[in-house]
Structure 1
Amino acid sequence: MGSITILFYLKNRKNKKGECQIYLRLTVDGKRKETSLNRSILKSRWDKGKQCGKGRTEDILSLNKLLNSVKQSLYQKQQEMIYNAEDITVESLMNKYLGIGERIKHLMVVIKEDNQRTKNLVKEGTYRKYIALTNHVQEFLTFQYNVPDLNIKKIDYQFVDDFDYYLRTEKLIGNNTTVRYVKTLKKIIQSALNKGWIKTNPFINYKVKFDKVTIDPLTEEEVQIIRNKEIDIKRLDQVRDLFVFVCYTGLSYADLAKLSNKYIVTGIDGNKWIKIYRSKTGELSSVPILPQAAVILKKYENNPSCKNRGILLPVLSNERYNAYLKEIGTICGISKNLTTHLARHTCGTFLANKLISRETIGKILGQSDWRSTAHYAKTTDIRVSQEITELMDVDDISSDQSIEAV
């Protein structure tokens, strides 16, 4: 057998980022075979003579490390074939390198298999996020590599980094949602790693963090504006009622959608309560039905659609619900982004400002962790002002003494 030659070069065709695909050309006994490395680079950053990237930036170092590993892998496959007395041709060596003839696992197949398993373990809302990830990865493969699927062994840090960049720039997805998508993909790849389908973890160097999100709840005045606004459009009137109902009960969208008579009970105080296990966590929410919420339940007790569906409120799809809430915000002159999440935060903050204990708020919101409760029940300037005023009114503490103490 003659010697082998390995060459890396760029194809002239550019992708949307202006980069060229990097190709491997393998030559054995004068015969050539080529394959894409599923990597791209700007021509200005490619050293044609040295067949590698120029510079010492992190992405160039990663690329050059990959190119070196491709070379080493080909030489290793060549030695394995010599040891096993296999006939070495350009086709057989390339096939050995690509894993052709071996059992290959492809990324999209692995993701869809994981989706089927996950579907039986999570709630519908969570499952929709897995489907969204699947669609994003499929579109990314077409955008970045112009292929419908990819050998899972090709998934490395560069793939992860490029996918993250794609979500942020092409799909215009925010940091926290991008991180959630990539972490979900990480879970799937970790399973493939555990099963031996890949040898190294491509997420080892993926270091990103969630941005801290601060939600400014509605004030009591803003809730009253929304509650009292005259709205003639039926669909908006109904969505307004649902939003206000959550402000006074703290129910999540999923629990609001399934609310039926079986969850309404008479409490030890003789009043009506909502007793419902949260769809997301399984924790029990015990919610006293305040008069403002009772009025809304009364309004829809004979609603034909609700009766037909066996529910108490005319809940729409989450997408339509949130879209209509934006209209309501505009109609009511509220600049804050109206969502069920905001309504839950508003409920928790109302309770906190009324000096309701954290344990009671957690019971109402269905939160077993005090840190989760604290996230929803924020202390506002009104509460701070009230408590400071009470402190200053204590007989044995005067404002002069306070100033001197400082």
Structure 2
Amino acid sequence: MIENEININGCFKMRVNFNLKNIGGSKSQIMLTTTINGERTRIYTGLLIEPQFWIKTSRTEIGERANENTSLGRVQCEYNHKINLELRKILGFCREYGVEVSQNHLAINHPMIHSKDNFETFVKSKIRGIEANIRKNPVEFINDYIQRKSKMVNKDTQRRIVSGTVYNHKNALRRLKQFCDENRLRIVWELFDARLEENFTSWMMDRGYSANTIASQYSIMKVWLTEAEIEGLIVNKAFHRYTTKTQDVDNIYLSEDEIQRIYNIDFSDEAIISQVDFKSSIEQTRDLFVIACWSGLRFGDWRDLSRADLTADTMTITTSKTNKTVVIPLHPLVKNIIQKYGGKLPMAVDKTHALKQIRKCGELANITEEVSLGRVIGGQTVIRREPKYNFIMNHTARRAFATNMYLRNVPSISIMAITGHTTEANFLKYIKISQSEHAAIVAKAFAV
């Protein structure tokens, strides 16, 4: 209960309450209400809340507030608790006003008379001071959002937001701060106008960021700025026009023969031992990567397969990103690896170290043919020609599975049931077949 009765040593008494005012959308404004000398007074507190989380009282009662019932979940409960803390702070302003009136109402030079105008002027100035501090500090607002993001639940999957998403948000804020530091710009809400996109994009292009990284930067920023817009902190609508369209990019896949060569690496061989850190977990990472190549799993799922339900012929797992349960038949190599670990598969190292180890496996497996891949970097198409193993990514396993199954003429709908793709358009982006391979497929059809 929020104590809404203000009594200053019997010299000043006042009853205030907080009510909601609908402004459209999911959230409503919280208004401070009271009656002074028969005049109804309403002051916007600067706070917003969804009506479903607000405890409403009858007309004869006071004490409306945010619901802090733990049944709402930890994240919402914490947010509501912060709302009530702010409301108590505003009540403190009302008490300060009461003290001013009780001490100065008889002053000869500057008497403080209790009136609607004086009350509104006093409290609004205090609230504006709080809002000004918030407005001056978008970084603090964004950091607070990212912290809450780590505790949020995806509305579609009802699962916690994956750690990779939080990492991307932190990285986007770091990039924005670096841009502002180098250009001596203050990060204020007025920064996010139409010119920012032009200047920020130019800065990222000069530093060699890819077109898709730039698009991702703006996609994340629009999430923050939309939240700030809801809170009434930003009024410039220009950020809604920031470009977030991604481009298809060149990627490799690994053929069945190349996957077999990676699987065949003998880490007990003296020649191999001399090229790797014997104490590292490279062999376990190799094994998990091979499993991923024959299961189509994302790194977030194959790095820890303890959640998987394994039978003699299938692996059943609920994917962390989409919350979809998929049933995957076990390839003979996967069965061998599971047997190797006695049915308890190891956990991979972090993404960065796993990638280094996988590329090393590609080198050890002699996947060294020269490959050319194009990227739009810094606004220009850049062609890199390097040994194929240098282009291997953690996600290459997923592309390898999709492509190899496609080449085996497995129906797309069956492959998608395992990869979890919901549209064929997105699925086909994973099919990484060269022009010569396309030609061979057509030639085979001609020969029938």
TM-score, normalised via structure 2 length: 0.57
Does the CA-based 8 Å contact 1:283-1:366 persist in structure 2?
yes
Aligned AA for 1:318?
K
* Percent of paired sites with the same residue: 22
Cα offset for 1:297?
1.7
C-alpha distance in 1 between matches for 2:431 and 2:327: 16
Q: 1:246 to 1:112 in 2, by over 3 A?
A: same
Aligned AA for 1:224?
Q
**1:202 partner SS:** helix
Residue of structure 2 equivalent to 1:54: none
Residue of structure 2 equivalent to 1:333: 366
- Residue 163 of structure 1, aligned match among 175, 196, 200: 200
**Root mean square deviation, CA, Å:** 2.7
**2:410 partner SS:** coil
C-alpha distance in 1 between matches for 2:359 and 2:433: 26
**1:254 partner SS:** helix
Q: Deviations over 1:302-326 (max 9, x none)?
A: 8xxxxxxxx6123111111012223
Q: 1:374 to 1:329 in 2, by over 3 A?
A: same
Count of residue pairs brought into register by the alignment: 280
Does the CA-based 8 Å contact 1:274-1:288 persist in structure 2?
yes
**2:182 partner SS:** helix
Cα offset for 1:209?
3.8
Q: 1:383 to 1:356 in 2, by over 3 A?
A: farther
* Superposition pairs of residues 350-369 of structure 1, within 5 angstroms: 350-369=404-423
Of the structure 1 ranges 204-213 and 221-230, higher mean CA displacement relative to structure 2 is found in: 204-213
Find out whether 1:130 has 2:169 as its counterpart.
yes
- Residue 299 of structure 1, aligned match among 337, 340, 345: 340
Aligned AA for 2:198?
D
* Superposition pairs of residues 253-272 of structure 1, within 5 angstroms: 253-260=299-306, 263-266=308-311, 271-272=312-313
Residue of structure 1 equivalent to 2:36: none
Q: 1:164 to 1:134 in 2, by over 3 A?
A: same
C-alpha distance in 1 between matches for 2:315 and 2:222: 38
Q: 1:102 to 1:118 in 2, by over 3 A?
A: closer
Residue of structure 2 equivalent to 1:111: 142
**1:286 partner SS:** strand
Q: 1:125 to 1:197 in 2, by over 3 A?
A: same
Q: Deviations over 1:76-123 (max 9, x none)?
A: xxxxxxxxxxxxxxxxxxxxxxx9886242220221122123212311
C-alpha distance in 2 between matches for 1:124 and 1:385: 42
Q: 1:357 to 1:143 in 2, by over 3 A?
A: same
Of the structure 1 ranges 101-110 and 217-226, higher mean CA displacement relative to structure 2 is found in: 101-110
Aligned AA for 2:184?
Y
Deviating above 4 A after TM superposition, structure 1's stretches of 4 or more consecutive aligned residues are 99-102, 378-384
C-alpha distance in 1 between matches for 2:347 and 2:242: 44
**2:228 partner SS:** helix
Residue of structure 1 equivalent to 2:230: 194
TM-score, normalised via structure 1 length: 0.62
C-alpha distance in 1 between matches for 2:145 and 2:131: 22
Find out whether 1:348 has 2:402 as its counterpart.
yes
Q: Deviations over 1:200-225 (max 9, x none)?
A: 22325544642321323122222222
Aligned AA for 2:176?
V
Find out whether 1:153 has 2:184 as its counterpart.
no
C-alpha distance in 2 between matches for 1:153 and 1:383: 52
Cα offset for 1:348?
0.9
Does the CA-based 8 Å contact 2:255-2:400 persist in structure 1?
yes
- Residue 385 of structure 1, aligned match among 440, 443, 446: 440
Residue of structure 2 equivalent to 1:44: none
Query: Which residues of structure 2 form unaligned runs of 5+?
Result: 1-127, 153-160, 268-272, 368-386
Cα offset for 1:386?
4.6
Q: 1:130 to 1:367 in 2, by over 3 A?
A: same
* Superposition pairs of residues 30-179 of structure 1, within 5 angstroms: 103=132, 104-105=134-135, 106-121=137-152, 122-145=161-184, 147=186, 150-170=187-207, 172-179=208-215
